[in-house]
Amino acid sequence: MLLLTAACATLLVVAALAASRTWDSAAERHAPQTVSAAGLNLALNDMDAQAANILLSSGEAGRGRMGVPYAKATEFYGQARHTISGELRTLAVAAEGDTKDERAVETLTEDFARYQELLGRALENGGRAGGKVDALADYRAATDLLAARLLPEARGLVEANDHAFDATYAAERSDLATQSTVLAALGLAVSAVLVLLQWYLARRFRRLLNPALLAATICGLTAVVLGLQLLTASAEQFRVARRDAFDSVVALSRARALAYDANADESRYLLDPSRRPAYERSFLAKSQQLYGVEGATLSSYDAKLGETWARYRADHEDRVFTGEFRRELDNITFTGEREAAERTVEAYAVYQRDDRTIRSLLAQGKEREAMAFCISWEPEKSNAHFGVWMKALDDVTDINRAAFDSAVRDGRDTATGLLPWGMGALLAAGVLTVLGLRPRLAEFS
């Protein structure tokens, strides 16, 4: 009996400590590293977009400069560069001891240094008289480096850290399921032993009931129930944190990075006439990754988006679109999340219509008007609508981040809160068993 009690106690301690370590790993390593890598991906796209906006709005050696767009782009360019440097430092610290991750961050850092050099030259050339041709050549080299190396490397870090988190989650859930089964079996064994002791003592000493052993049985069963509650609640909180909350955080982080890249494609489209067909295809491809509609071209995308979205609003189960927004709408869990996600898609639809306005103005030969509409922050202009879209996207992401943080707190509280009660019940069961047997053994002797 005492050995079984000790086995239950050991199992509970091991399970609680393992759960606590897993929560620490999820909250302090895997989730922050994944978010940092996603933030790096986004900031790289933003930096490239703002460099294009600076070149578009700078005029000819300052003459004809678009004041507010130029100042905004310069400010956001500096912020993006600062964010990238910070995220690279964070990832470098997190990668210590992992040779593969260390090398990945080193490669990214080296490529980013080269990228900054090219963008710096492009902006310098763009600010001098007669330097636009050289500026465009340098910008092309920079954005090609971004597309060929930096963005794939950043996305690789996002995927690697997310997969590591997923593997930890799957392993811990499996361990908790096994521990629950073993604890239930030990609980049955403890109950069986105590019942047999009651039966034996009743027959041997003609005592109908042993109060201490009865109390020990109740304490043992209580300990097992508390232990099972600890294990099942921990497993459920892990599921909420990973599947309900963090899966959405990852999908929405991808959506945000794609949004900044698509926004950059609009600026690149205006800046580099010879590459306009390629940037138009790239914009459509990213739009399909965000909200995919079968068979859509740029000319038909708005109508197809409106049609499929109207079907969804009429019936939330009628989701015939794909992409990151579909992933989020497939995983609606928390209060206010659906409404926030729907506002995001509706703001996205406005931004998409703005894109057609830009291309229409350019097709009419109104290049400066197209540029002004694209990079202006005035109300009802494209960048203002982009800001509304990003605010809506941040709102739904924040709901899921808050839910993740809440699940982490609840999971830690469960592991540390129930363990002392379970251990106390097991200790009481052991003590009561000894107290119940001592008088009978004394009678026997």
- So what's the pLDDT on residue 435? 64
Q: What is the pLDDT of residues 239-251, one digit of tens each?
A: 999 999 999 999 9
- So what's the pLDDT on residue 186? 72
pLDDT band for 426, please (50, 70, 90 cuts).
low
pLDDT at 108 over 50: yes
On whether the CB atoms of residues 36 and 250 are closer than 8 A, the answer is: no
- So what's the pLDDT on residue 204? 61
Q: What is the pLDDT of residues 371-408, one digit of tens each?
A: 999 998 888 999 999 999 999 999 999 999 999 999 99
Phi, psi of 130 (to 5 degrees): 75, 15
- So what's the pLDDT on residue 312? 96
CA gap 163, 156 in Å, rounded: 10
In order of 76, 273, 289, 290, 326, the CA distances from 323 in angstroms are 28, 29, 5, 5, 5
Can you tell me the mean pLDDT for 144-152?
95
What is residue 322's DSSP assignment? Answer: B
Phi, psi of 63 (to 5 degrees): -75, 130
Give the DSSP H or E segment for 144: helix 132-145
Matching residue, tokens 């707190």: 409
- So what's the pLDDT on residue 441? 47
- So what's the pLDDT on residue 123? 93
- So what's the pLDDT on residue 98? 81
CA gap 377, 67 in Å, rounded: 11
- So what's the pLDDT on residue 277? 96
Q: Any idea which of 131-145, 325-339, 408-422 has the lowest mean pLDDT?
A: 408-422
- So what's the pLDDT on residue 131? 85
Q: What is the pLDDT of residues 149-173, one digit of tens each?
A: 999 999 998 998 899 888 888 888 8
Among 132, 140, 136, which residue's Cα sits nearest to residue 60? 132
Q: Any idea which of 189-198, 206-215, 313-322, 418-427 has the lowest mean pLDDT?
A: 206-215
Q: Which letter, b or e, does each residue of 97-107 get, where b requires 16 or more Cβ atoms within 10 Å of its Cβ?
A: eeeebeebbee
Among 125, 143, 141, 138, which residue's Cα sits nearest to residue 60? 125
pLDDT at 13 over 80: no
Q: Any idea which of 187-196, 201-210, 334-343, 349-358 has the lowest mean pLDDT?
A: 201-210
pLDDT band for 177, please (50, 70, 90 cuts).
confident
Q: What pTM, to 2 d.p., does this model score? A: 0.85
Could you please report the per-residue DSSP string of 147-173? IIIIHHHHHHHHHHHHHHHHHHHHHHH
Can you tell me the mean pLDDT for 93-112?
89
In order of 58, 182, 198, 432, the CA distances from 211 in angstroms are 89, 28, 10, 9
* Average confidence score pLDDT of the chain: 87
